[in-house]
Amino acid sequence: MPGKGIRAGEGTPLGIITRAATPLILAIASLCALVATPAVAAPDALSAAVDSAFRPLLVQYDIPGMAVAVTVNGQQRYFNYGVAAKQSGAPVTADTIFEIGSVSKTFTATLACYAQELGRISLAGHPSAYMPQLAGSAIDKATLLNLGTYTAGGLPLQFPPEITDDAQMQAYFQQWTPDDAPGQQRRYSNPSIGLLGHLTALAMNSDFADLVQTQVFPKLGLSHSFIRVPQAQMDDYAWGYNASNEPVRVNPGVFAAEAYGVKSSAPDMLRFVEANISPEGLPASMRRAVQATHLGYFNVADMVQGLGWEQYSYPVTLDQLLAGNSNTIAMQPNPVTLVAGVPPSGPRLFNKTGSTDGFGAYAAFVPDKRIGIVMLANKNFPNAARITAAHAVLEKLAAESR
């Protein structure tokens, strides 16, 4: 799993208001309070729904800060709670950058589908077409589609801890022994989708992080999303907090960028959700790439595994969502049924969870209803709590979209 980062620095002391300025400031504050009072006194139903669903989680799970963003019929709403860093007390804002963990896999899938649209890869192809060193290995019997849907034959959740560089990664795949034939079981795996991202970058003669930051993010209209957060944006980068409440950020690792490396803000993530709800305004190749990530390939009970996104027939019950995001699905191999990459039939809910050592994220949307939600937090807390809260808000959004 992504490890601990360095400790955060201490905040700066507050300034002092001079006596001469106090009367004027108090007068202005009183006027502002009078103007703001009606909005505070009568919050709308959506605000109440978001507050009642998410605010208690901050106390229950000791979460320092959280951003929730929702969209309904193309209208966006943002809700920020708590602090981005305990040390400074800086509040969560629209600019706060969170680690989104495995929600990053949806960007890896989008890049792979984009590369296929450009003719640089084929999801039906095999790894050795792009990494000849894997010719003759067991992993080469899988397709790139198998890698992207965790159905290559039983790749593990994580690399063994001794795999720390590309040479060791290559040797690992050359020597890997599958548990099953490709397409028979789904076993959620960072090395699996990570290899898809790596092969895509090789096929495009570029670095994976550079491709996402220069090709995917701009074409999706995302300006505050990064794999490598630039120095100029570091003040916006929240600190995550691990189980011991130590301030941490994600560490580098083999396929970290491909599997869990994106950092983003709530407004950018909501733009990404809206691009998935209504991709018509995207450049043609990116539009088709986004639409390709909505194809379903393998059934696992009520969940259909696509590339990056996991989907369900809509309406979907909370119990179905919880089952599809349970440890049984995430941590164990599960038999699958092929559904042949067909477009969604009827309304679907798409979702993805994500975590690093100090952050938790969730994104879900229903294109037919034109509703979606994003939750970003600087604490890793149970998926069940995230999904339960988001489901309650989505039910409210669905009612408003009618």
- The pLDDT tens digits of the residues spanning 386-399 come to 999 999 999 999 99
Neighbours of 348 (CB within 10 A): 21
Say if residue 218 is preceded by a cis peptide, omega within 30 of 0: no
pLDDT of 172 higher than 50: yes
In the chain, the N- to C-terminal Cα span, in Å, equals 42
- By residue count, the chain amounts to 402
- Output b/e per residue, 278-297; b: 16+ Cβ within 10 A: ebeebeebbbebbbbbbbbb
At residue 216, φ and ψ (nearest 5 deg) are -80, -55
* Residues with catalytic roles: 102, 188
Q: Can you tell me the distance from the alpha carbon of 173 to that of 231, in angstroms, rounded to the nearest whole number?
A: 35
What value does the mean pLDDT take over residues 352-370? 99
Q: Can you tell me the distance from the alpha carbon of 117 to that of 120, in angstroms, rounded to the nearest whole number?
A: 8
DSSP three-state, residue 134: helix
| Residues of the chain above pLDDT 90, percent | 87
Q: What is the pTM of this model?
A: 0.90
pLDDT of 276 higher than 80: yes
Q: Which two tokens stand for residue 385?
A: 């709590």
Closest to 356 (Cα-Cα) out of 324, 390, 388, 379: 379
DSSP three-state, residue 186: strand
Q: Where in the chain are the domains? A: 45-106+207-400
Out of 3.40.50.300, 3.40.710.10, 3.40.50.970, 3.30.930.10, which CATH number does the structure's domain 45-106+207-400 have? 3.40.710.10
208-226 pLDDT, tens digit per residue, is 999 999 999 999 999 999 9
58-77 pLDDT, tens digit per residue, is 999 999 999 999 999 999 99
Residue 401 has a pLDDT of: 85
Residue 211 has a pLDDT of: 99
Residue 43 has a pLDDT of: 52
What value does the mean pLDDT take over residues 99-121? 99
| CA distances (Å), origin 50, targets 68, 110, 363, 366 | 8, 29, 15, 18
In angstroms, how far is CA 342 from the centroid of its own chain? Answer: 24
